[in-house]
Amino acid sequence: MEPVRVLFVCAGNICRSPMAEAIFRHLVAQQGLADRIHVDSAGTGAWHVGEPPHPRTQAVLRDQGIPWDGQQARQVDPSDLQEFDYVLAMDRENLAYLERMARHGRPRAQVARLLDFVHPSPADRGDVPDPYYTGRYQEVYALLRPALERLLERIVQERGLDRFPPGTSTP
């Protein structure tokens, strides 16, 4: 069985999407699903390609005990829409970019804004704000964490995945 592939997308791939990637990868590992869910992130722009997450993103993740090692910014590619099952944008602007990209082919991926995808209530939907300009990295973490927990639950249910927490045996 092929792993479920999830891609998070923001503008530069140094703040929101790598934070989402690290948190989600951490949650996936805690549920014993690391071999069944592949997680990545990318940016719509190429400004930071090859760079690690922003130092303030790293600090928030470190404070939460979430590893981010090895992450490097990359730009989203049209092939990502074929290779991933879920491509989740952090905001309306990045979603519009992905939708324009999707018009040039038949994407396999479900493409949506993250908060729209995981929240049934319109009151909870919208953009994940960019902390690059506001400095509100902890607030972004506080918004992402429960959304990503919901996303994992949705994927587990949609894909019928069994969880095997670390330290337990798989059948």
DSSP 111-160: EEEHHHHH-SSGGG-S----HHHH--HHHHHHHHHHHHHHHHHHHHHHHT
Between the CA of residue 99 and those of 128, 130, 134, what are the distances in Å?
18, 20, 27
Total structural domains within the chain: 1
Does the residue 154 lie in any domain? yes
What residues make up the domain containing 140?
A: 4-159
State the average pLDDT over residues 147-170.
83
Does the residue 102 lie in any domain? yes
- Inform me whether the pLDDT recorded for 171 exceeds 70: no
Catalytic residue among 15, 16, 36, 74: 16
Catalytic residue list contains 10: yes
Residue 16, classed as helix, strand or coil, is helix
- Inform me whether the pLDDT recorded for 147 exceeds 50: yes
- Inform me whether the pLDDT recorded for 125 exceeds 90: no
- Inform me whether the pLDDT recorded for 168 exceeds 70: no
Does the residue 169 lie in any domain? no
- Quote the pLDDT of residue 166: 58
Does the residue 25 lie in any domain? yes
Catalytic residue among 10, 25, 40, 74: 10
Name the pTM for this structure: 0.94
Pairing of strands 37-43, 86-89: unpaired
Residue 74, classed as helix, strand or coil, is coil
- Quote the pLDDT of residue 114: 97
